[in-house]
A and B are shown apart, each in its own frame.
Chain A
């Protein structure tokens, strides 16, 4: 008998997908029905935090209602259930990032803690006086300050790769900064201010030619792009659950097993040890070596539900919808006289930072808020980047898959109101 033709095999997804049904999806996010100052909420502050689908809240609640127990220590039923639920999420995250092994997934509070963990363990052990750490001009403070602290302690040097006026990394310049003294590269995957998607695969290849490990700050990327840590060959990847439609206070550090195993522990306490005596303590294996104390169990379970939800939508569909919105918004905003977009990279996620001639972002934000429109104003924890573009602050609209073209229209109308009030 001839082998069955390819098409006869069951596919993971139907070939013709139904159009992305944003109206139906919005039903999953109860907060989107809220009224703010008597107007429907237009939530455009997703880079700060995303809203949570009902499934995430229900998962957390289910844990507290029916499973609440500590993990990794009880012999009783609930503890066993909670431990399983917690460890299941580790496997979910492993698959989500396409990591090779579940033990390469460390649960932390968020991206900030993940970067601090690496700076304090890998960094402290491997960075010496005269060594160099390389970052870019578009880093969030959380990917600047931990390295500055380390450099100050060790007498090492923090070097910064520059960007062009579109907000794109100057890759040639970046490569020139790599040298025999470079010991670590830490780069943002997607900029929280500019939306720029960095050419991380090339960055990693360049750094690896010098045997330099690379950490990617994935806080803004993980909710919008399919991340494959093995295809990228990155050494560390970090993400925050709350920017991924999950709860606050939970995040992930991915690290290659060999690197993690060789790193000293971050915090001491319960669960991170295998035996303790007053003379000597033996540390637990990874990932537990880096998870001292009772972790955020409910948050972890909520993160698992968020990943399930996102996988259910599919990154292809999410990405297509967000890119369509981005193009629509960029066009609509650039038609507004006196408005300048900050961050116009070719490869860009759905983040729109802008300044309005003669108007301060803080005032813009206040007027928009009265229209029910939530945007972020300020320096977005990226003061060096503000200096680079010569602005004290920007107004930022950051989009998610549940946003609509009508909401972009509301933003444009809101900006007209801003000009009316402040003009």
Chain B
């Protein structure tokens, strides 16, 4: 498979064209905004928590195929996870897209997130894939500040 086909896998394109959980959430426990000033991508992430467990996640915004698909898949994989599980998943995902992780390394199973493996060959696109995850971290920590890809260290 060419690098491009690996980056833009069908699953990613499907999610970017028909994103899941693409809606505002009136009764969200937490929400946060993420922004990539270099390409203008904007995402608002809504999280509903029951105790330590994420019971619902949704998002709105505009972005490229990678950032939209990343947000869409994030909302699917996080439902039912605890905060610690979400954080562990981000670390694993981060390793995947930056090409740092071991394929069979420790940590939670990436599941659907594995479709983003092609991102590691496109270093400038890492920020597209991780924007929503940084935004999640901000939502869970209750930060008021807009997350930008320029303040997050990849």
Contacts and interface: CB of A to CB of B under 8 A. Distances in A.
Interface of A: 358-363, 366-367, 370, 377-379, 383, 386, 392-393, 421-422
A362 B40 CA distance: 10
B5 A366 contact: no
Contacts of A393: 39-40
A379 B64 contact: no
5 contacts: A361-B64, A362-B125, A377-B39, A378-B38, A383-B40
A393 to B, nearest CB: 5
B66 interface: yes
B39 A378 contact: yes
B40 A358 contact: no
Q: How large is the interface on B (under 10, 10 to 19, 20 to 34, 35 or more residues)?
A: 20 to 34
A398 B131 CA distance: 29
A362 B64 contact: yes
B74 interface: no
A201 to B, nearest CB: 34
Contacts of B128: 362
Interface in B106-125: 122, 124-125
Interface in B92-138: 122, 124-125, 128
A363 B8 contact: yes
Contact of B4 (A362, A367, A377): A367
A393 B125 CA distance: 16
B148 to A, nearest CB: 13
Contacts of B62: 392
B66 to A, nearest CB: 7
B108 to A, nearest CB: 29
Contacts of A366: 4, 7, 122, 124-125
Interface of B: 2-5, 7-8, 13, 17, 38-42, 62-66, 68, 122, 124-125, 128
Contacts of A421: 4-5, 8
Contacts of B40: 378-379, 383, 386, 392-393
Contacts of A363: 8, 64-66
Nearest to A391: B40
Nearest to B38: A378
Contacts of A370: 2-4
Contacts of B4: 366-367, 370, 421
Closest 8 pairs between A and B when the two form their complex, measured CB to CB: A360-B64, A362-B64, A392-B40, A393-B40, A363-B65, A362-B39, A378-B39, A363-B64
Contact of B8 (A383, A392, A422): A422
B114 to A, nearest CB: 20
Residue with the highest number of chain A CB atoms closer than 10 Å, among B63, B65, B66: B65
A42 to B, nearest CB: 17
Contacts of B125: 362, 366
Nearest to B68: A360
A74 B62 CA distance: 58
B39 A422 contact: no
A358 B68 CA distance: 12
B126 to A, nearest CB: 12
Nearest to A394: B40
A361 B13 contact: no
Contact of B13 (A378, A379, A383, A422): A422
Contacts of A362: 39, 41, 64, 66, 125, 128
Given A363-B65, A393-B39, 13 more contacts: A360-B64, A361-B39, A362-B39, A362-B41, A363-B66, A366-B7, A366-B125, A370-B2, A377-B39, A378-B38, A383-B40, A386-B40, A393-B40
B60 to A, nearest CB: 14
A369 to B, nearest CB: 9
